[in-house]
Chains A and B, each alone.
Chain A
Amino acid sequence: MVKIHFSRKQLCIPYGLFLALFVVIPMLLILFYAFTETVDGTIRFSFANFLNFFTSTAKLSTLLMSFTIAIISTAICLLIAYPLAYILARSKFKKKNVLLMLFIMPMWINFVLRITALRELLDLIGLLGTDNYLNTIIGMVYDFLPFMILPLYTTLEKLDNSYLEAAADLGGNKFTVFTRVTFPLSMPGVISGITMVFMPSMTNYVVSDTLGNFNITILGKLIDQYFTTYDNWHMGSMISIILLVIIFLTMLLTGRFKDENRDARGANLW
């Protein structure tokens, strides 16, 4: 019998192959498709898609509109979630965790079903179809609010009370204590929440379709259309590259390359 020499390190080989085959190579394929075009059945190198994107007012206005929807949705989430997370984290209620659970539970319930339920509600009260932009923003806030609440709660809950007491003892009134101590200390949670909400708000077209009555085109929808409707995979890949650049820039801006995404998905609660 052949004795297989077993080493713990070797356990990462299958995972490494998996990542190479199904994550890294596919991303390189996007890059390849973005900078090529198919002419008469042959693929050749080209900057056409790149130039096309930045000279097309339709595509640029989609980008701008998508940006606006994402910024407004993220801002509303932050404005709702911050006071809520603050109240929950500071409350003296014994079962704070159960209370928190009520607010972030939707995270684990199928979002298509939740968004469809919201569509039914908007339809019932006569809002559906009146203002597709507004309804899309309501949908984004509805879908992503839990992802803003959780990181804010986590940082505010960890906040050391003695800092706040010290600030008050040194003569800070409630407003200055908040603006000079509490808020700056909660910045990691704010940034984590913003990244969890902003990017999906630019790309999750199920929300904009369902609530914008299939009339709103956000960046994610544009990519989908180039793949499924227009059958132009080169242009779809180019828009993906532009999206990736935006994601990369927000990561640089927020300095967030850590494991927080997992915590923000609520993994610790399982």
Chain B
Amino acid sequence: MSASTQAAPTPAAPRAEEKTSWIDTVVRAREVSLIGVLAILVIAVSLAEPRFLNAQNLRDILLNVTIVALLAVGQTIVVVTRNIDLSVGSILGITAFATGVMFADHNVPIPLVFIGGILFGACFGVVNGVMVAYARVPSLVITLGTLYVIRGIDYWWASGRQINAADMPDGFLSLATQNILGFPVLPLFTIVAMVIVGVVLGRSRTGRELYAIGSNPDAAVLAGIRVTRRVLGAFVASGAIAGLAGVLYASRYGTLDAVAGNGIELFAVSAVVVGGVAIFGGSGTVWGAALGALLLATIRSALVILQVNPFWEQAINGALLLLAIGLDAYLAMRLARELRKRSSHRV
């Protein structure tokens, strides 16, 4: 019976050659390619219309992108965990209105309004987070629900009321017009938030665990990561950032009613996807998301300055989105094919 032997082990096939095509480079650093696209866009448009590069126009682009970029930063935290937060537009709207109420009816000092707005937004984040993390209902459904519920509360609360710039202190409204060392103040809030979130996601254990959860939720459990707590935290952070965005919205536009920020969540999600954050989680950075928002805002401005029918703006945004998703799908397919070939030595 000692004749029992195993079939001779097959020698390992030579490792598939490491191919580095331009496409691999693109996927490694979406940020670099976004900057490239942005540069080409700016050069091309300013050749066609030199007014594009004037200081006032650049300033406007920056101010316009501030709020969407901030929402995109918050959205990134949620999306890397393989979730989505569609309620941010409504949270922004209701917080913007709350900001107006705090000033108009209660004379709350400016710093406290900021803190209040952030906490107010965070409360809605807690609601989203608890339902997603503990009830295990897909976040797409939960936050679609809260999108409408929060907007509904906003309508009920405002009940037709409009708060105007005259109701708010000048010191608050001037945040949108003043400069520090020649740089507008409002975008600084977004930049500070982006840097903080960027460092937390990129360089803290908690941040890396968020990526791990999005990359492989089952493995995250096996690795001992407290998944529910982390996902809850991501939604709270997203809500808090949407709250901050609501306060900035009030400062920028001055006129507040129940429709503030209606539909803005889709711009934020578009920016995140264009910015290379994988919609199924696990990869992408806030820098990419913010650049995505900047690219979309620049395109909008370019279309205005080139006097293109604004109808094209949405079509181009959509095309960019499809391009970004298509690129990701193509890369994933290629990788899968490569892997199957590579593992063929086991047969």
Chain B associates with chain A: no
- Which chain B residues have a beta carbon within 8 Å of chain A's beta carbons? none
- Which chain A residues have a beta carbon within 8 Å of chain B's beta carbons? none
